[in-house]
A and B are shown apart, each in its own frame.
Chain A
Amino acid sequence: MTGSRTFSILIADDDELVRGVLTIVAEELSDEVVVVEGGAAALAKLETRRFDVLITDLRMPGVDGLELTRFVTREHPHTRVIVVTGFATPESERAVRKLGAELIQKPFGARLLRERIQSALEAAASFRQREL
Chain B
Amino acid sequence: VTDDELQSQLDALTTVLLAVARGRFDRPAPRSYDGSAVDTLTFLVNSTAEEVGFLVAELEREREELRKAQERLVEAAKLAALGELAGGVAHELNQPLTAIRIVTELLEDQPDGHPADRADKLSLIRRAAERMSRIVDGVRTFARKTSFELARTDALRPLDEALALFAEELRRAGIAVERRTPGGLPPVLADSDRLQQVFVNLLANARDALRTGTSGAPLRISLTASHQAEVVLYCVDDSGPGIRPEDAQRIFDPFFTTKPAGQGSGLGLAVSLGIVQEHGGSLSYEALPEGGARFIVRIPVARDEPLP
The interface of chain A, by Cβ under 8 A from chain B, is 13-18, 20-22, 24-25, 37, 59, 61, 84, 86-87, 106-111, 113
Contacts and interface: CB of A to CB of B under 8 A. Distances in A.
B23 interface: no
Contacts of A15: 95, 261-262
Contacts of A107: 94, 97-98, 100-101
B98 A18 contact: yes
Interface of B: 87-88, 90-92, 94-106, 109, 124, 127-128, 131, 258, 260-262
Given A16-B261, A17-B127, A21-B124, A86 B105 contact: no
Given A17-B95, A59-B91, A24 B131 contact: no
A113 B104 CA distance: 13
Nearest to A89: B87
Contacts of B99: 17-18, 20-21
B261 A87 contact: no
A87 B105 contact: no
Contacts of B96: 17
Given A22-B102, A87-B94, A110-B101, 16 more contacts: A15-B95, A15-B262, A17-B124, A17-B128, A17-B262, A18-B98, A21-B102, A24-B102, A25-B106, A86-B90, A86-B94, A86-B95, A86-B98, A106-B97, A106-B98, A111-B105
Query: What DSSP secondary structure best describes chain B's contact surface?
Result: helix
Given A16-B262, A17-B127, A86-B98, A109 B91 contact: no
A22 B258 CA distance: 23
A36 B203 CA distance: 30
A108 B262 contact: no
A61 B90 CA distance: 18
A117 B33 CA distance: 98
Nearest to B89: A87
With a 10 A CB-CB cut-off, give which of B91, B102, B103, B260 has the most chain A CB atoms: B102
A18 B128 CA distance: 9
A30 to B, nearest CB: 16
In order of increasing CB-CB distance, the 4 nearest A-B pairs are A86-B94, A87-B91, A15-B261, A110-B105
B136 to A, nearest CB: 16
A108 B109 contact: no
Contacts of A22: 102
A20 B139 CA distance: 26
A86 B95 CA distance: 7
Contacts of B94: 86-87, 106-107
A14 B260 contact: yes
Nearest to B107: A110
Contact of A24 (B98, B106, B127, B262): B106
Contacts of A17: 95-96, 99, 124, 127-128, 131, 262
18 contacts: A14-B260, A14-B261, A16-B262, A17-B124, A17-B131, A18-B261, A21-B103, A21-B124, A24-B102, A24-B103, A86-B98, A87-B87, A87-B91, A106-B95, A106-B97, A107-B94, A108-B98, A110-B109
